[in-house]
Structure 1
Amino acid sequence: MDGETKPHVVARTAALLRAIAATEPNGASTASIARASALARPTAHRLLSALAEEGLVDRDQRSGRWSLGPELYLLGSLAANRYDITDSAGRILRDLARDTGESAYLSARRGGETVCVASEEGTFPLRSHVLHTGIRLPLGVASAGLAILAHLPDREVEEYLACVDLTEKWGPSHASTALRARLSEVRRDGYSTNPGLLVEGSWGMGAVVFDRRGEPAWALSLTGVETRFGPTRRAQLGERLLASAHALSQSLR
């Protein structure tokens, strides 16, 4: 394919699928997918057309917008037997949202990112809308990714920080020095706190969920407006998150 190596094509294809997934359920235009995946528009269109022939993506003939295809649903339903924990997490998310009033989320680690895979809206009328199902964020940016990163071995943390520059998109508050300080706080408290670093006035807290091997594979998080996250209540929310994350970790074992 135009002299491209197979691994290169696979990487580009994966980038396209992730870009589409981030726009579900409304789909996305070829141009927006190309921008999100850092591909030239003709290249993106060519790859999308090939994926459509295999049923991996679908295109609305009227709007021209791309969505994930039926073949991905079939493949995903089979993979869910091994990787999906949303059923186990459903009750815990509902209880968190009901008891705290804040919106609750479950995020999965995927390499150097977290992917939000399930959510439950809180009852408090003022809400934070930073997170949504399907959003991908680098480790160390949102509270879920911060909690996961803090529980990785030091060697993995240093390797990760050496190969990413989070300041380019997320600002100086995500420089390595500042990030290391927050990781120390997570290790001290057990839970993470994001004090409005993504969107001013929107706070988040997270606690890691361990898989059967004891590795930090997921995280539960709560988000809300800053006025709901005073010091006393923050400690209470942190304890509640830790208890919920522990219960979910235990249920997976």
Structure 2
Amino acid sequence: MARSSTNQNVHSADDSSLDAGGARALRRGLQLLDALLDAGPEGLRVVELCRACALERATVHRLLATLQASGYVATAGRFRYVPGPRLGRAAAAPGQPNMAVRLQPVLARVSAAFGDAAFAIVRDGPHSHCIAREVGTHPVQVLVIQVGTRQPLGVGAAGLALLSALPDAQVQQIVAANAPHLAAYGGMTAERLHLLVRATRERGWSVIGNHATRNVLAVGMAVRDARGEPVAAISLASTLARMPRERQQLVARTMREALAPLAV
């Protein structure tokens, strides 16, 4: 009996130690999240997180890997970390629909006006993440992506519109992070992507063809919140033959009108 009692005490001590370790890891993880939330859209580097949370670099890297795998942390460029998509959903005001729900009527209006498929994306670190899609009525639908698709920000029209709406520093970081993967998208290069960003800013909306999908051209526009910050983007995709310059301009005007009354 004495041995049994001793073993029980040992197990209790081990459990207590494990509980303490788990609580410590949780507390440190929450410290990192607090620091990232306070840092704003630019995010923080590992060295800055170490300083802000008084943690060792190895500990910060380990915690970031866990938080990133769970969607609570995302990367911005090669070296910075920002709050992830799960935190964005948690931060939405109670009772408000998420961005996909808010943008679905916009997609429906744009798709109905032209008969082609419309898409909505948000940013996920250096990538775009498709959150909604509306299929049109034209017999030939160009379904370039589906809900859940992720790709380098800028290789599609919606992603290009959102990328172009970001500050220069973030554009540089995102393009640099995606540079090794761009060639797979119709031979895209970092240099060409920077040119497309410049043209999109001058025009006020994006247009891109033959990159994400061959023989396809799409028009995109950024979605901004009440403060003017870019939070999402929409696009309409069709075949090259159905997208002459005049129709591109009409699509952009229709998008702007559909987004105007939307309070995001």
TM-score bracket relative to the smaller structure: 0.5 to 0.7
Task: Give, as a single letter, the amino acid of the residue that structure 1 aligns with 2:170.
Answer: E
Give 1:78 deviation, angstroms: 9.0
Give 1:92 deviation, angstroms: 1.8
Deviating above 6 A after TM superposition, structure 1's stretches of 4 or more consecutive aligned residues are: none
1:243 matches 2:257: yes
Structure 1 residue aligned with 2:220: 206
1:5 matches 2:62: yes
In structure 2, distance between residues paired with 1:77 and 1:9: 18
Task: Give, as a single letter, the amino acid of the residue that structure 2 aligns with 1:170.
Answer: Y
1:115 matches 2:129: yes
- Would the aligned equivalents of 2:126 and 2:178 in 1 still touch at CA under 8 Å? no
| Residues 77 and 123 (structure 1), Cα distance of their counterparts in 2 relative to 1, 3 Å cut | farther
Structure 2 residue aligned with 1:87: 101
1:20-59 correspondence to structure 2 within 5 Å = none
Give 1:216 deviation, angstroms: 0.7
In structure 1, distance between residues paired with 2:259 and 2:218: 15
Name the Cα RMSD after superposition: 2.9
Uncovered stretches (5+) of structure 1, i.e. residues with no partner? 16-71
| Residues 14 and 151 (structure 1), Cα distance of their counterparts in 2 relative to 1, 3 Å cut | closer
Give 1:14 deviation, angstroms: 4.4
1:172 matches 2:172: no
Give 1:239 deviation, angstroms: 1.5
In structure 1, distance between residues paired with 2:97 and 2:150: 17
1:150 matches 2:207: no
From 149, 162, 168, give the equivalent of 2:176.
162
| Residues 99 and 155 (structure 1), Cα distance of their counterparts in 2 relative to 1, 3 Å cut | same
Task: Give, as a single letter, the amino acid of the residue that structure 2 aligns with 1:155.
Answer: A
Structure 2 residue aligned with 1:139: 153
Aligned residues: 191
SS in 2 for 1:5: helix
**1:188-244 superposed Cα distances (whole Å, 9 cap, x missing partner):** 211111212111112211100002332111111101111110111111112212222
**1:167-188 superposed Cα distances (whole Å, 9 cap, x missing partner):** 3432532x12111111111112
Identity of aligned residues (%): 26
Q: Tell me the TM-score normalized by structure 1.
A: 0.66
SS in 2 for 1:247: coil
SS in 1 for 2:260: helix
- Would the aligned equivalents of 1:209 and 1:246 in 2 still touch at CA under 8 Å? no
- Would the aligned equivalents of 2:152 and 2:178 in 1 still touch at CA under 8 Å? no
In structure 1, distance between residues paired with 2:183 and 2:245: 30
SS in 1 for 2:143: coil
Give 1:159 deviation, angstroms: 2.4
Structure 2 residue aligned with 1:106: 120
Structure 1 residue aligned with 2:203: 189
In structure 2, distance between residues paired with 1:141 and 1:156: 16
Uncovered stretches (5+) of structure 2, i.e. residues with no partner? 1-58, 73-85
Q: Tell me the TM-score normalized by structure 2.
A: 0.64
| Residues 244 and 167 (structure 1), Cα distance of their counterparts in 2 relative to 1, 3 Å cut | same
Give 1:140 deviation, angstroms: 1.0
